[in-house]
Every structure is written in structure tokens, then in C-alpha cells.
């Protein structure tokens, strides 16, 4: 149990003891960290009880404070400031905490609980490569999966590949008409990029055909429907759903090229999945569920044969579930996928990591499943996130203006190389070590920058700012960790593992402010982990870790370790840096970010 929880319990017990005839709720007790300008470590807000008890804040605070000093081993002093009771934690408590946990590699990790969560992320289309817009999705999904796991949940990391539909047929038609038999191997282009080029080609031809039809007198909306290449793509989709052998063979070939490319990208991103679903395998289940809903009278069929659901009574609109020609739409396969995931794992919760542009879609999906009586509906949770833009503006894949994920990763690694070389920090490294360092710094910068902002907020990614050694970046944290590793090497202490050679620390060591700040901050780590899991927000881990690195820099600037004023102080400070390194590694590891031992 963390200090914040212990303080809250102590405050509740004190109030119940002092005012036994008053109905006091523990939920009314607010405990915060004391503001830096005041003396104390934790603050109890008195205002909720002033009116209830008809007492002045300073009188109430004094009574509670004196009771806590007399009955608790936690506190050494208190101070009343304008309706707030500031409490100072005893050094002996923090010394004991540090001694018991500085080599505890599982500190903050919760015991397993019987709660199955599937986190679905990435979800690419097989008509184009992963692009920069995918990266926030992928890093969010991977980080949330690790954070939930650290909180004891049984997590299944899933990827739903959008491998069928009209968008796939667009690439297929373009390759068939203009590819002239080229392959990724013959062209020297990575498979997903190769297929993506034909998706762009489709739209180039499509625009020209629309322009030609409108020039001949056809209105634009009709031209969009009647453009020959679009009609060909729609015909190909119907053939695919009918099981046409040649169409299916081309589909398998082109998707195979894309999967090979995806595998390379995922490896470079450092992410993996426990289960990969394919919409080509789930849309039929979706169609069956829709047909069942039609038979039950929950859905209805229009004159053109299309199947719909009426959600107007729920403040929404009518939603198409099957086209008139019998082909499925996105939400049809999503219905099938949702049910299949539930059947496969008996999920308590199914987390969809999807951009906020799809808020309405997920709302409709969950409502339809509820109306159809599907048990998977209740566990659906949408981890909605804002889109990412570059300083140059929004990206559009069909116009070929996106930045590929592969290109962005390469750019970040190259920026790390340039920054390190310009700083003259390459001495003492082998070529292989330098390449690993550049990758660690570049990928760390990319991940941290995309995760440090609350997922709900839209953001602009600035590559140069993301790798600033002195900014709110992974690079800043990585450098702090490298400094710690240098300290430990000088003291012949292993960077990882148990430092059993340290002498026992007595419980009466007086803590200086910087030392105490470090211990208090690390003691809060379990609460940070829990809050991050409850809010599905890795940004709180980013902020906590950055603050810990800042506190370490302040601590190391004012306190010597090798020349500590006593052996006991040296032991204390070594324990602090050992636990700091461990906490930094664990927290950043949840984000998929490695910390180098040398920089």
C-alpha cells in the first residue's frame, strides 16, 4: 500500500476517533502531494469537514494533526495552511521503504487477477504500407497492453487486418491493368510499399476518368459511380465474395507481398501480437449475425435488397449492414469480429484502439450488438485518440501524401546518429554498439513523443523537438539512465540485478531534501501504474518518468556519492540510484523504450 493510501486511512481513522458521532465518509477525504512552497509531503484537504463539523479549519487541522502524531508512526510534524493539513513523513519510514525495495524488480507490479482483456491495435489495410498515422495507434496499443499486464490483467494483444473490401480491390485492379507483371522482387520495392503504389495509381486514374466523364456532360456524382476503373473494382469485389478462383489467387498473392512488408515494419517497431484476425475470415460470421437479426425483426430490408437497422429512437440514424448486392460493409465484418473475439477468449473487456474519427462507428457497433443480444457488446471499450499531423499538415494516403512509417523510423535513427556525432559522443563504442545506440535513441524519441500527450488530444509531431536532449523527451531520460549506469560502474556495482554487497542501512539516517524527493517519487510508482491502467493513458507514465529523471539530475548535482560525508550516506545514495535506474527501465519498458547504459 502506497503512502497516499496510508495517509488517507490514517486521516479517516483520526476523524472517526475524534468525531465518533458524525457520519464521515472515507470518499470525502482528499490527499494530495504538498505543494513545493510549503513544508510537508502530503496534504489533507480540510474544507469538506469544516461545515460538517462546524469548526474553524485551523482548529480542526490542529486536532487531526496532533492525533496523527500521537497515534501514527508515519508522521514527524504537521502544519496548517489555509484549510489544508500538511504532513511530513518520517525519514525512518522512507529509509525502511528504500531498504526493502531498492532491488525489488517487481516493485509496482500487481498480482494477477482473473480479468481477460483484448487490446486490438494497428489494424492495417492490405492496400498500402503502415504510415506515420499508424504509429500513435500502434504505440498506444502496445503500451496500454503492457500497462494492463503490469496491473495483473490477462492481456491478449490482437491485430485485425483489413484484408478484403473495395479498397483492396482498387490496388488489385490497378496492378492488373498497369503492373505489367512486376513484383516486389523484380522492382526492388518492399511489398507493402509496392502494393500501396498501385492504390495511389488507382486514384490517379479514377480522377482522370471522372474529369473525362464530366467534360463530356455527366454530372460529377454520376461520374464518380460510372468511372470504368471504379466499376471494375466493384465487379472484382463481387467476384471475390463469390469465390472466383482467379480473383482469389491474385488477392492472396498481393496480400502476401504486403504481409512480408508488414513483418519487417513490426519487427523494427518492436511490437508483436498474440492473435491476428483477418476480416476475410470474420465477415461471413457478421453476415450470419445480420441475417439472424433480420429474421428476428430487429433489422429490416429495403426495396433494393439492402439490410439496415433503425437507430433513430436512440438519437442516431439508420445504418446500412448489407448492400443490395449482398456484399458486406465495414460494420458487418466488425460485428463478426467482435463476436469471434469474445468466443475465442471469453473476454471481460475488448479494447479498440481507434482514432476519434471513428467515435460514431464504435458507438453504433456497440449499440447494434446490444440490440442483437450479443454478449460481447458490454465489454467493448473504445480507446479513442486524436490524429497526429506533421508540421506540414494532414496526410492523405489516396493522394500519396502520407509519410511511411518505415521512412519516419529511418529519419529518426538518422537524426540520432547526426546528434550523437555532432556532440562527439562516439568514442569508446564499436560500430555495432553505435548502430544500436542510434536506433535506441531514435526509436525511443519517436515512441515517447507520440505517447507523452493524452490520447484524447490531437497533436503535431516535430521530429527535431522529439529528440532534444534537454527537453521533455525520451532522450533526456535515456541520458539520466546512462549517467546512473556510469556511477554504478565506478562503484563496481552491476547495472542490473541485486546489489548484495551494500551494507545494511539503519533506519535513522537523516534525509536531505533531494534524497527525500527521490524516495517519495519512487514510492508513488504503483499508484501511477494503476492510474495509467484505469485511464488507458500511457502519458501519465511518460510524465512520471520524466519527473523522476529531473529529480535524479537535481539530486546528483547537489549530492556526491563517491565522496559522501559518511559510508551510510553513500549506501543510502547508492540505493537511491539503483532503484531509480530500475524504475526508469521498468516504466520506459512499458512504453517499449530501451534505456542505454552508455551515451
Q: The domain that contains 12 carries what CATH number? A: 3.30.1360.70
176: Cα separation from own chain's centroid:
39
Residue span of the structural domain in which 48 resides:
3-89
Whether 399 shows a pLDDT value over 80: the answer reads no
- Residue whose C-alpha cell reads 555495432 in the numeric block: 432
What DSSP designation does 219 have? -
- Under the banding of pLDDT at 50, 70 and 90, the label for residue 400 is very low
Q: How far apart are CA 221 and CA 242, in angstroms?
A: 28
Whether 402 shows a pLDDT value over 80: the answer reads no
CATH number, domain containing residue 586: 1.10.730.10
Q: Is residue 257 part of a domain?
A: no
Q: Which helix (H) or strand (E) holds 572?
A: helix 567-590
- Domain limit, last residue, from 89, 116, 131: 89
- Under the banding of pLDDT at 50, 70 and 90, the label for residue 498 is low
516 within 8 A of 550, measured Cβ to Cβ: no
Three cell numbers written together for 519: 524516495
Backbone phi, then psi, for 163, in 5-degree steps? -105, 10
What is the average pLDDT score of the chain?
Answer: 94
563, burial (CB in 10 Å: exposed 0-12, middle 13-18, buried 19+): exposed
257 within 8 A of 183, measured Cβ to Cβ: yes
Whole-number pLDDT of residue 496: 77
Whether 395 shows a pLDDT value over 50: the answer reads no
Whole-number pLDDT of residue 105: 86
Whole-number pLDDT of residue 587: 98
Q: How far apart are CA 31 and CA 51, in angstroms?
A: 18
Whole-number pLDDT of residue 51: 86
pLDDT digits (tens, 9 = 90+) for 422-437: 988 888 899 999 999 9
42 within 8 A of 3, measured Cβ to Cβ: yes
- Domain limit, last residue, from 89, 109, 134: 89
Whether 298 shows a pLDDT value over 60: the answer reads yes
Mean pLDDT check: name the lowest of 293-297, 394-398, 524-528. Answer: 394-398
Q: How far apart are CA 246 and CA 475, in angstroms?
A: 51
Q: Is residue 578 part of a domain?
A: yes
Q: How far apart are CA 186 and CA 340, in angstroms?
A: 39
Whole-number pLDDT of residue 212: 97
| Cross-strand partners of 307 | 301, 322
Mean pLDDT check: name the lowest of 317-331, 351-365, 532-546. Answer: 317-331
* Dihedral Cα 357, 587, 546, 466, nearest 10 deg: -50
**Considering its fold, how many domains does the chain have in total?**
2
Q: What is the pTM of this model?
A: 0.92
- Strand order across the 380-385 sheet: 275-278, 154-161, 116-120, 349-355, 380-385
Whether 397 shows a pLDDT value over 50: the answer reads no
- Domain limit, last residue, from 52, 74, 89: 89
- Under the banding of pLDDT at 50, 70 and 90, the label for residue 401 is low
pLDDT digits (tens, 9 = 90+) for 191-226: 999 999 999 999 999 999 999 999 999 999 999 999
Q: Is residue 160 part of a domain?
A: no
Q: How far apart are CA 341 and CA 536, in angstroms?
A: 20
Amino acid at each position: 500500500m502506497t503512502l497516499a493510501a496510508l495517509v488517507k486511512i490514517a486521516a479517516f481513522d483520526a476523524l472517526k476517533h475524534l468525531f465518533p458521532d458524525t457520519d464521515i465518509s472515507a470518499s470525502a477525504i482528499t490527499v494530495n502531494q504538498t505543494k513545493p512552497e510549503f513544508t510537508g509531503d502530503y496534504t489533507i484537504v480540510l474544507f469538506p469537514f469544516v461545515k460538517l463539523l462546524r469548526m474553524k479549519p485551523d482548529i480542526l487541522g490542529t486536532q487531526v494533526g496532533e492525533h496523527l502524531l500521537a497515534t501514527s508512526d508515519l508522521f514527524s510534524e504537521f502544519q496548517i495552511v489555509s484549510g489544508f493539513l500538511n504532513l511530513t513523513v518520517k525519514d525512518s519510514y522512507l529509509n525502511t521503504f528504500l531498504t526493502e525495495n531498492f532491488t525489488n524488480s517487481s516493485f509496482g507490479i500487481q498480482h494477477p487477477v482473473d480479468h481477460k482483456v483484448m487490446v486490438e491495435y494497428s489494424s492495417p489495410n492490405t492496400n498500402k504500407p503502415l504510415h506515420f498515422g499508424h504509429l500513435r495507434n500502434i504505440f498506444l496499443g502496445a503500451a496500454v497492453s503492457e500497462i494492463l499486464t503490469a496491473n495483473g490483467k490477462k492481456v491478449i494483444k490482437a491485430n485485425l487486418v483489413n484484408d478484403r473490401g473495395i479498397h483492396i480491390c482498387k490496388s488489385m485492379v490497378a496492378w492488373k491493368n498497369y503492373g505489367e507483371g512486376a513484383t516486389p522482387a523484380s522492382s526492388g520495392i518492399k511489398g507493402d510499399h509496392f502494393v500501396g503504389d498501385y492504390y495511389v495509381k488507382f486514384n490517379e486514374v479514377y480522377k482522370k476518368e471522372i474529369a473525362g466523364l464530366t467534360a463530356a456532360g455527366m454530372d460529377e456524382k454520376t461520374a464518380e459511380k460510372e468511372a470504368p476503373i471504379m466499376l471494375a473494382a466493384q465487379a472484382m469485389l463481387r467476384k471475390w465474395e463469390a469465390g472466383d478462383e482467379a480473383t482469389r489467387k491474385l488477392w492472396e498473392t498481393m496480400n502476401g507481398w504486403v504481409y512480408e512488408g508488414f513483418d519487417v515494419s513490426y519487427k523494427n517497431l518492436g511490437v508483436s501480437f498474440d492473435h491476428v484476425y483477418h476480416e476475410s475470415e470474420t465477415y461471413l460470421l457478421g453476415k450470419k449475425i445480420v441475417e439472424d437479426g433480420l429474421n428476428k425483426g430487429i433489422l429490416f430490408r429495403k426495396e433494393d435488397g439492402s439490410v439496415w437497422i433503425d437507430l433513430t429512437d436512440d438519437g442516431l440514424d439508420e445504418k446500412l449492414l448489407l448492400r443490395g448486392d449482398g456484399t458486406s460493409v465495414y460494420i458487418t465484418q466488425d460485428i463478426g469480429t467482435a463476436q469471434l473475439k469474445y468466443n475465442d477468449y471469453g473476454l471481460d473487456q475488448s479494447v479498440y484502439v481507434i482514432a476519434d474519427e471513428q467515435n460514431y462507428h464504435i458507438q453504433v457497433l456497440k449499440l447494434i450488438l446490444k440490440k442483437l443480444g450479443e454478449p460481447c457488446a458490454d465489454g467493448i471499450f473504445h480507446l479513442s485518440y486524436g490524429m497526429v499531423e506533421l508540421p506540414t499538415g494532414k496526410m492523405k494516403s489516396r493522394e500519396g501524401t502520407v509519410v511511411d512509417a518505415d521512412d519516419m523510423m529511418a529519419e529518426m535513427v538518422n537524426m540520432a546518429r547526426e546528434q550523437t556525432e555532432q556532440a562527439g559522443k562516439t568514442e569508446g563504442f564499436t560500430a555495432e554498439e553505435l548502430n544500436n545506440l542510434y536506433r535506441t535513441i531514435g526509436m525511443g524519441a519517436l515512441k515517447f513523443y507520440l505517447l507523452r500527450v493524452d490520447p484524447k488530444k490531437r497533436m503535431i509531431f516535430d521530429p527535431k523537438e522529439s529528440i532534444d536532449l534537454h527537453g521533455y523527451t525520451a532522450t533526456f531520460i535515456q541520458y539520466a539512465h546512462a549517467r546512473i549506469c556510469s556511477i554504478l560502474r565506478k562503484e563496481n556495482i552491476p547495472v542490473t540485478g541485486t546489489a548484495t554487497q551494500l551494507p545494511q542501512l539503519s533506519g535513522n539516517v537523516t534525509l536531505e531534501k533531494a534524497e527525500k524527493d527521490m524516495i517519495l517519487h519512487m514510492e508513488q510508482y504503483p499508484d501511477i501504474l494503476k492510474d495509467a491502467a484505469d485511464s488507458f493513458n500511457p502519458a501519465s507514465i511518460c510524465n512520471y518518468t520524466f519527473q523522476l529523471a529531473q529529480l535524479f539530475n537535481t539530486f546528483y548535482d547537489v549530492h556526491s556519492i563517491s565522496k559522501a560525508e559518511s559510508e551510510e550516506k553513500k549506501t543510502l545514495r547508492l540505493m537511491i540510484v539503483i532503484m531509480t535506474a530500475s524504475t526508469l527501465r521498468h516504466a520506459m519498458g512499458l512504453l517499449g523504450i530501451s534505456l542505454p547504459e552508455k551515451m
